[in-house]
Amino acid sequence: MTTNPEHNGGAVILLVEDTAVQALRFKANLEENGCMVRWVENGRDGLQAAHESFYDLIILDIELPDINGFEVCRRLKADPAVAEIPVIMLTTRDRAEDALIGLNTGAVDYIPKDNFADLVLLETIKQMGLL
């Protein structure tokens, strides 16, 4: 597990999500499972935050108010300083085409926000060795 040496425990995660209710739900669930989570509300802040600290994982919504998540992921993966941070897309878009776009931009997984999203997200993070 490659976690931030300054954090004892689980993964250090950057959550980029514009909907407060959803962000707070995912943040609370991750923190209950030992993660340290920083939440930002838009793509521009997500790109900036990725450079400000060490993150084991970025969880990225697609429908953001300024820069969509696909473009944020492309920019992250094109930047050598942060390109190695895995990105999971967590979104209301549940079409296969969108999942393929997300994976082709460099995301390691694409999780639709449905009734099981919390469980699937936690299991994915566990399988990555971050929990």
pLDDT digits (tens, 9 = 90+) for 94-123: 889 999 999 999 999 999 998 899 999 999
Give me the residue spans of the domains in the chain: 12-127
Residue with the two structure tokens 């931030």: 4
Cβ 31 vs Cβ 8: under 8 Å: no
Q: What does the pLDDT read at residue 10? A: 84
For residue 80, what are the CA distances in angstroms to 50, 77, 83, 111?
Answer: 12, 7, 5, 25
CATH value of 12-127 in 3.40.50.300, 3.90.1150.10, 3.40.50.2300, 3.40.190.10:
3.40.50.2300
Phi-psi region of 129 (alpha: psi -120 to 50; beta: other; left: phi over 0): left
Q: Which residues of the chain have pLDDT under 50?
A: 1-3
* pTM value surpassing 0.85: yes
